[in-house]
Amino acid sequence: MDNRLYSVAQIRATEAAAAESLEPGALMRRAGRAGADAALELLGGARERPVLVLAGPGNNGGDALELAANLGEAGVDVVVLHLAGSGKVSTEAAQALARARASRANFADVAPDVRDWALVVDGLFGIGLQRPLEGRYRDLVSAIDGVRCPVLALDVPSGLDADSGAVVGPNGVAVHATHTITFIGDKPGLHTAEGRDHAGQVQVAGLELDEALFEPAQACIGSPALFAASLAPRRQNSHKGQFGDLAVVGGARGMTGAAVLAARGALYAGAGRVFAVTIDPAPAFDPVHPELMFRLAHDFDFAGRVLVLGPGMGDAMEAMRALGHGIDSAAPIVLDADALNLVAASTELQARLTRRQSATLVTPHPLEAARLLGSSAAEVQADRLGAARRLAKRLQAVVVLKGAGSVIARPDGEIVINPTGNPGLATGGSGDVLAGVCGALLAQGWPAWEAAIGAVWMHGAAADRLVDEGIGPVGMTAGELPAAVRAVLNGLIRERGQTRAR
């Protein structure tokens, strides 16, 4: 499956290059045909109720009009609400309107009642929208929220930014589609931030364009194929020392649980030996997992261990000392939670971090990323890909910007958007488990880039597995994730081994 993601600028460039060798209107006709095929598949045998097609004033509206004409020719009862704008209409869109009016589609002059339809097709606005939806458009979007039928968005749900996944404009609105058929190439905004709630199931229609017309993609959707090379079955003749020593450094007074969750995540993800290294005195052992070894940070030897720095670390002087010691070490490190806040507050620590020669992986949520970038969480969420890229370059680290459609970035600008996970992960301690899984993969010799992609994919897949088993998403706890991560990881390794055997 093609998992590449393209920016709006790249899609525009491909579209312009294709237009040089195609007859006028060819791409719009192809989009209308692809959209109609998707609509017919959603309708199945249910043809007793009509389909409502909302066609806006631009080329996205032209795609919708072509779709309406095709559905009419297929014998579907189609009602078109065409909202013509005051601006200049392209020749292609005008031709699509003429074709739709000449077809069996029925045109409505006012917005019909949108409750009793077999399908609603959103062709109001596409990737070129720059302003928030207002007036009739906003009212229509609100009305669409009340339908009980599938909603098919053409190219991108109207009101959604195709690059960022943010809803366009302050206090903006966007269509909540159950399905999106996106044209030419997939877009990142359909898979992160608000896009996860607005796009529904995404299908790509390439419109039969030559591969040579596409610019190289700098982003893609995550999948096990991106870290498959590290999914090696273990040899029978193995010992724990081959799978790495890992130390989770954190657990200040009252926050030992964060360090324990990260350590359990690392244990279940296969690290050979796991230490919970606490800032303040902690229980002598974990009664659930006595395999974990507890030490105090002030006299712990960091040498030779992969370090997960930050879960429940606090901001005391001992925390600063341990963090600085970890940053200056030659070990691969994962920075999470309080470690990120301490780095954000210290230009000296930031400078030391950028000079590291070993792997550095940081896992901020949007507010932590904002502190590191000197911006706001709202600004980070408005451009998640850009924020992750800036942070990766600034810290010279692999960055996991957590959230719906977590964004993984590296200093050269390459991006992966993770497709797994669900709202059950929005619970305390979930990020600590993820940090532990990242560290465990590093301890087992995974490169930082693959470790980040793999850990985030498996962490999300573990949450999806729990939901499939009837656990959550409401009420899912972080403590339930490590065992599910183990099941996902071993399943991937078995699948990888079977594939190689074939």
Residues 129-187 pLDDT 10s: 999 999 999 999 999 988 989 999 999 999 999 999 999 999 999 999 999 999 999 99
On whether 430 is known to bind a ligand per the annotation, the reply is no
On whether 431 is known to bind a ligand per the annotation, the reply is yes
pLDDT of amino acid 87: 75
On whether 258 is known to bind a ligand per the annotation, the reply is yes
CB atoms within 10 A of CB 208: 11
Span 314-340, mean pLDDT? 97
pLDDT in tens, 381-426: 999 999 999 999 999 999 999 999 999 999 999 999 999 999 999 9
Span 471-488, mean pLDDT? 97
On whether 128 is known to bind a ligand per the annotation, the reply is yes
On whether 324 is known to bind a ligand per the annotation, the reply is no
pLDDT band at 496 (very low <50, low <70, confident <90, very high): confident
Span 254-265, mean pLDDT? 97
On whether 404 is known to bind a ligand per the annotation, the reply is yes
Q: Where are the domains of the chain?
A: 4-216, 238-501
Cβ(186)–Cβ(5) below 8 Å: yes
Q: Helices 430-443 and 448-468, interaxial angle, to 10°?
A: 130
On whether 240 is known to bind a ligand per the annotation, the reply is no
Kindly tell me if the per-residue pLDDT of 115 is higher than 70.
no
pLDDT in tens, 178-232: 999 999 999 999 999 999 999 999 999 999 999 999 999 999 999 999 999 999 9
On whether 123 is known to bind a ligand per the annotation, the reply is no
On whether 63 is known to bind a ligand per the annotation, the reply is yes
Kindly tell me if the per-residue pLDDT of 92 is higher than 60.
yes
CB atoms within 10 A of CB 41: 12
Give just the sign of the alpha carbon dihedral 195, 198, 200, 205: negative
Which residue blocks in 299-447 are alpha helix, DSSP H? 317-328, 338-344, 347-354, 366-373, 377-382, 384-395, 430-443
Burial degree of 501 (CB within 10 A; 0-12, 13-18, 19+): exposed
Query: How much of the chain, in percent, has pLDDT values that exceed 70?
Result: 98
On whether 301 is known to bind a ligand per the annotation, the reply is no
Nearest-angstrom CA–CA distance, 432 and 126: 38
Torsion angle defined by CA atoms of residues 353, 357, 361 and 367, in that order, rounded to the nearest 10 degrees: 20
**For the structural domain made of 238-501, what CATH number should be given?**
3.40.1190.20
On whether 405 is known to bind a ligand per the annotation, the reply is yes
pLDDT of amino acid 114: 61
pLDDT of amino acid 165: 97
**For the structural domain made of 4-216, what CATH number should be given?**
3.40.50.10260
On whether 130 is known to bind a ligand per the annotation, the reply is yes
On whether 6 is known to bind a ligand per the annotation, the reply is no
Mean pLDDT of the chain: 95
pLDDT of amino acid 48: 76
On whether 122 is known to bind a ligand per the annotation, the reply is yes
On whether 186 is known to bind a ligand per the annotation, the reply is no
* Radius of gyration, CA atoms only, the chain: 25
Span 69-73, mean pLDDT? 96
Nearest-angstrom CA–CA distance, 359 and 330: 9
SS3 399: strand
Q: Which helix (H) or strand (E) holds 180?
A: strand 179-183
On whether 155 is known to bind a ligand per the annotation, the reply is yes
What pTM did the predictor assign?
0.95
Nearest-angstrom CA–CA distance, 435 and 262: 6
Kindly tell me if the per-residue pLDDT of 284 is higher than 70.
yes
Q: Which helix (H) or strand (E) holds 78?
A: strand 78-82
pLDDT of amino acid 285: 86
In CATH terms, are 4-216 and 238-501 the same topology? no
pLDDT in tens, 4-60: 999 999 999 999 999 999 999 999 999 999 999 999 999 997 777 899 999 999 999
Cβ(435)–Cβ(262) below 8 Å: yes
Cβ(111)–Cβ(143) below 8 Å: yes
The token duo for 215 is 């610019």
pLDDT of amino acid 1: 46
**Token pair 């199931």 is at which residue?**
201
